[in-house]
Structure 1
Amino acid sequence: MYLVKSVGSSLHRTLRTLTTSTSMAATIASAKDPLTGPRYEREPNILKKKLASVVPGTVNLQVLGSGANGAPASVYLFTDQARYLFNCGEGTQRLAHEHKTRLSRLEQIFVTQNTWASCGGLPGLTLTIQDAGVRDLGLHGPPHLGSMLQSMRRFVVLKNLQVQSFDCSEGACFEDSILKVDSLPLISSENPKKCVINYICQLKPRAGALNLLKCVEKGVPPGPLLGQLKNGQDITLPCGTVVRSADVTEASETALSFVFLDVPSVEYLPGLLAHSKRLKKLGEEQLTEVALVLHFTPHLIASCKDYKDFLEENFSPGTQHIHLSSPLNQFSGYAAAHRIQHQLHQLAPQVFPLLGEQMPCQSQSLSLNLKKTKLEDNNAGKANSSQEEEQGVVAMTSFHLRPRKGLDRTLESKLTPEEYVKETHAVPGFTELLAKFKEDYSFPINSADSYPKIIFLGTGSCIPNKTRNVSSILIKTAIDAYVLLDCGEGTYGQIVRLYGSDQGKHVLRQLKAIYVSHLHADHHIGLIGLLRDRRQLEPKAEPLILLAPRQIEPWLEFYNREIETIDDAYTLVANGELMAGPLTGEKVEPLGITAISTCLVRHCPNSFGISLTLAAKHKNENVKITYSGDTMPCQDLIDLGRDSTVLIHEATMEDELEEEARLKTHSTVSQAIQQGRNMDARHTILTHFSQRYAKCPRLPSDEDMQRVAIAFDNMEVTLDDLEHYHKLYPALLAMYAEYTEELEQRAVKRELKQERKRKLVQT
């Protein structure tokens, strides 16, 4: 009886001790634990050190961008303590923000190509993760990645983030406590200097669970010896008995592997086939299992026979496949943009048209190729062949590697238009105001070919958020001509999502000129991608006019020399050259423009404002459109824009933040409105709002808004529309009453805080 009690007591103590030790990893990952608190967000190296020896209990792959409708193709791997990103095209940081994908622990990025489609989001992302507290970033991929970031140093200023680039063209290997990543370089058969990197990733397996009953039988006392056995170490008891870890632990889990394949064209297929033996061996190893293959390969190559045969020969039927950039991927994942557009569309359908990107069909059932099964379900896995018809994926399609749950589509980004509209009608008073507005007035109907027309593609400042992208304004200056004012990250994606794929390509063909106001990243990072896409669409198209600061040349020349040809896609005209005299004549007449003039404005060095005098007339008067770029109130801009038909002016800050605006060389809302009055502009449109005003900016109550409009992404207005825009304000402000009330409360709290500071100074 005593022996049974003793053994039971020992087992109880052992269980209690082991429970404490084995729950450590879960405790560390807990959201309530101090390790994930603010201190460790500010000091990530401390957290990294604490978690270095902890095997992650959660390992998930998330499709961050599916490659559809101007979205990037990118995949995010996250564990309890680390994050990894595979490919980083334009728009990656915006999708991460929208889907609450935290970037504060992202320390390794793997890129398959050094072309803009795969790494165009790096400039914006590095600035964002620097602000999030990341101090060291590993950048893995083809040659020139490090040089590319270095060439952007004029406008991507990394003060606190150290980026170390790793050239994987020789088959480099990355390894940490969580996973091992082997590089598979594919060399072009036509140009040996061109290289694409594929990746084999293998998770470090978790050790088998400690069998407490066996430990008791072997006479192991509670205490640190149990931890040593769990970590795979053999121990010697005080009596001299050796206890082997293998004798008291369960078998380790099978290591899971996943593979990234990117074969951009047929010239890289021989390189892929050369790795066939290596991948086949990986699939045949008993200690690992290839759970998933993620394809960055474009559909044209992925559908060819050689590629399909390669998959069938080298991966088992149980391996699942996710194809990014597939034509079946119909939705970009930017659900918030659709949400606000459906809400604004109720006010004025032609000013706020519904987005033209193809809507995802939520009722589609899963195909066999993306079957929702657990990885342990062998019978289901056998049905899952790479030869089966695939189905599209969208942002937040997930694949759970640990715990082994396999594919998960429950969190996929979806559209629910009825819910978006219902939200606004739940706001007290909105339905009545909307009905009254529609009864009293409707906007004049314009044809799709009406011009001049101003289309706002990005109306936010600094970094994109889910409802406002960074600066970009498209102007239809003639029946067959468009001009772009600034070209922030994701500009081409905004065009495609607004107009749909076919019409978006039509707009790109008719784009004749791009103006870049200054070299801050949020005003021109979308330029390379747009030039590439236009060039691929029309290889022999007439080069467009690029009006930009002369200082942009070194960056464009580097990309053209080291990465891919773009210099035949544009003709550079330096903004400074137009200060002496406007650009006129045959260079601008095909644009429907008679003169383009610039002036220096009060922002960073080499910042410019611009005025366009159009050939089109409105009410028998010349049409003149002036754009401020980023600036404080500026007399030179007033002189440039004298008697403008439309002034488009930045209004970054609310009026109470005038001092902050001055320090950052921006304008407040009232300052921008006053600029319009001072130049006798008929209409003033406010844009470039701080991201603290994601929906609606805080408007001054004492300003006359009859000649003032506020810009939203995907808003398009004609001159006739602007005559009546002010009639929208009652319904618009009612629709976002809760949001604007929150802005007012913030302003009150800010004022109280300032008042306390003033009193402290006085005392």
Structure 2
Amino acid sequence: MELEFLGTNAGVPSLQRNVTSMALRMFEERRTFWLFDCGEATQHQILRSSLKLSKLEKVFITHLHGDHIFGLPGLLSSRAYQGGTTKLTVYGPPGLKQFVEVSLTLSQSRIEYELEVIEHTGGTVFEDQDFTVESLLLDHRVDSYGYRIVEKDKAGSLDLKRLAEYGLKPGPVYGRLKRGETIDLENGQVLKPEDVLGSPKKGRIVTILGDTRPCDNAVILAKDADLLVHEATFMHDLKESAYNYHHCTSIQAADAAVEAGVQELILTHFSSRYKDIEHLQPLLEEAQTVFQNTKLAEELVLFPVQRHV
């Protein structure tokens, strides 16, 4: 898993940065990527990356402010022209379905793949055998949600030496053991998976928050996460402005990382007053006084999701 930021600015785009969107690249895990928010010109940013819209599987929208959704109708329309034929599911707050349907209907856009829009008000919004996505309401001017993506633990690797000692050769029995099944051997022995499997491989946790003031639900979603993506619209000297606009400062983001016990923090959603990466350095340094393992989101740069033991 890797995160690729497609937009890191708050409110409006600037010459240096686009508005909010990020891709969770999951090509090793499921040969797809998921998109979180879709601000204006997100599809242009995708064209500048190695991502292909045909591989887009899911879109998660945090809230319905324009800098997080104005790129969605165009992206949905363009996906079919870029080889997208598989089902695409879009998740987000109530009102999202109307926005998508009205935009596509009035523009007479033709969607030639299966498109499903699922509205939610928090809770478990997606689950399969490999991942769970949970959501909680944050504290913003409109309903804004954070997402907690949990990779489920996987069985440990098979001990080939031990399997050979039991007289087993590669074949279907290996798969049965990996699935947790007990095997009856020809000599009457019973072989349990734990006899030949290494320690389970712990799944990773990624938390991606929408716009928010400091709140309890942000910490709950980020609890013990391997990676937390948190807005940091302002430096802490503008904490009153942050509060009035329902946003966070760099220090407040770092405080949440400490309280939640996360491994790594990436700051994003920067005010356009901070023109470029050089002007963002003080914001980063400020956060690092509270939580050292903090990074700045940079557009079209890959951030691996490390597996912490």
Indicate whether the TM-score tops 0.5. yes
1:395 pairs with one of 290, 296, 299: 299
TM score, norm. by length of structure 1: 0.34
Aligned runs of 1:160-175 on 2, under 5 Å? 160-175=112-127
- Report if the CA contact (8 A) 2:227-2:305 is conserved: no
Q: Return the match for 1:139 from 87, 90, 108.
A: 90
Deviation at 1:386, TM superposition (A): 5.0
Distance 1:208 1:385 in 2: 38
Cα pair 1:203 1:257 within 8 Å, conserved: yes
1:292–1:321 CA contact under 8 A, matched in 2 = yes
Q: Deviations over 1:711-747 (max 9, x none)?
A: xxxxxxxxxxxxxxxxxxxxxxxxxxxxxxxxxxxxx
Are 1:168 and 1:185, in contact at CA under 8 Å, matched by a contact in 2?
Answer: no
Structure 1 residues 386-425: Cα deviation after superposition (integer angstroms, max 9, x where no partner):
54596543212222236x59xxxxxxxxxxxxxxxxxxxx
CA contact (8 A) 1:93 1:121 kept: yes
Q: 1:275 offset after TM fit, Å?
A: 5.8
Matched, 1:183 2:130: no
The answer to whether 1:206 aligns with 2:154 is yes
Matched residue type, 1:62: E
Of residues 1, 17, 41 in structure 2, which corresponds to 1:91? 41
Deviation, 1:198, is 0.5
1:637-684 deviation per Cα after TM superposition (whole angstroms, max 9, x unaligned): xxxxxxxxxxxxxxxxxxxxxxxxxxxxxxxxxxxxxxxxxxxxxxxx
Residue 77 of structure 1 pairs with residue 24 of structure 2 = yes
Bigger Rg, structure 1 or 2: 1
CA distance in 2, matches of 1:303, 1:388: 16
CA distance in 2, matches of 1:369, 1:102: 36
Higher relative contact order (CA 8 A, sep 6+): 2
| 1:108 paired residue among 53, 58, 67 | 58
Q: CA deviation at 1:88?
A: 0.4
Deviation digits for residues 171-197 of structure 1 (CA, Å, limit 9, x no counterpart): 242123442110112366x8xxx4111
Q: Does the Cα contact within 8 Å between 1:302 and 1:308 map onto a contact in 2?
A: no
Counterpart of 1:185 in structure 2: which amino acid?
A: L
Could you tell me whether the CA contact under 8 Å between 2:138 and 2:210 is conserved in 1?
A: no
Does the 8 Å contact 1:260/1:296 carry over to 2? Answer: no
The answer on whether the counterparts of 1:320 and 1:369 sit within 8 Å (CA) in structure 2 is no
**Aligned pairs for 1:310-349 within 5 A:** 310-316=256-262, 319-327=263-271
CA contact (8 A) 1:168 1:197 kept: no
Question: Would the aligned equivalents of 2:122 and 2:134 in 1 still touch at CA under 8 Å?
Answer: no
Amino acid at match of 1:155: S
Taking only aligned residues, the RMSD between alpha carbons, in angstroms, comes to 3.2
2:239 is matched with which residue? none
Q: Does 1:255 align with 2:203?
A: yes
Write the letter of the residue equivalent to 1:292: L
2:6 aligned residue: 64
Q: Distance in 1 between matches of 2:193 and 2:293?
A: 46
State the match for 2:171 in structure 1. Answer: 223
Letter in 2 for 1:214: R
User: Alignment length, in residue pairs?
Assistant: 285
* 8 Å contact kept, 2:7–2:19: yes
- Work out the CA distance in 1 between the residues paired with 2:260 and 2:272: 24
Aligned runs of 1:35-50 on 2, under 5 Å?
none
Match runs of 1:471-490 below 5 Å? none
Change (3 A) 1:175 1:274: closer
Mapped contact 2:32–2:55 kept (Cα < 8 A): yes
- Conserved 8 A contact 1:185-1:195: yes
Percent identity over the alignment?
24
CA distance in 2, matches of 1:253, 1:369: 35
Residue from 226, 237, 248 that aligns with 1:302: 248
How far 1:119 moved relative to its partner? 0.8
Cα distance in 2 for partners of 1:321, 1:254 equals: 20
Per-residue deviation, 1:134: 3.0
CA drift of 1:63 comes to 1.4
CA positional deviation for 1:225: 0.9
Tell me the distance in 1 between the aligned counterparts of 2:166 and 2:48. Answer: 54
Q: 1:392 to 1:274 in 2, by over 3 A?
A: closer
Deviations 1:262-317 (A, max 9, x none): 234x4xx4xx32564x447x42xxxxxx211112453333227665543322224x
2:107 to 155, 177, 184: 155
Q: TM-score, normalised by structure 2?
A: 0.80
The whole-number CA distance in structure 1 between the counterparts of 2:208 and 2:84 is: 28
Contact 1:328-1:392 within 8 A present in 2 as well: no
CA contact (8 A) 1:109 1:138 kept: yes
Query: Where is the helix percentage greater, Structure 1 or Structure 2?
Result: 1
Structure 1 stretches of 5 or more lacking a match? 1-58, 284-289, 331-357, 371-383, 406-763
CA distance, structure 1, for counterparts of residue 218 and residue 270 of structure 2: 24
Distance 1:303 1:214 in 2: 54
What does residue 14 of structure 1 align with?
Answer: none
Question: Conserved in 2, the CA contact under 8 Å of 1:262 and 1:297?
Answer: no
2:67 maps to what in 1?
Answer: 117
Q: Is the 8 A contact 1:369 1:391 kept in 2?
A: no
2:37–2:69 CA contact under 8 A, matched in 1: yes
Displacement of 1:111 after TM fit? 0.7
Residues 391/112 of structure 1: CA separation in 2 closer, same or farther (3 Å cut): same
Q: Which amino acid aligns with 2:96?
A: L
Asked if 1:292 is matched to 2:227, the reply is yes
How far off its partner does 1:100 sit? 2.7
Which residue is equivalent to 1:537?
A: none
Structure 2 residue 211 is the aligned partner of structure 1 residue 273:
no
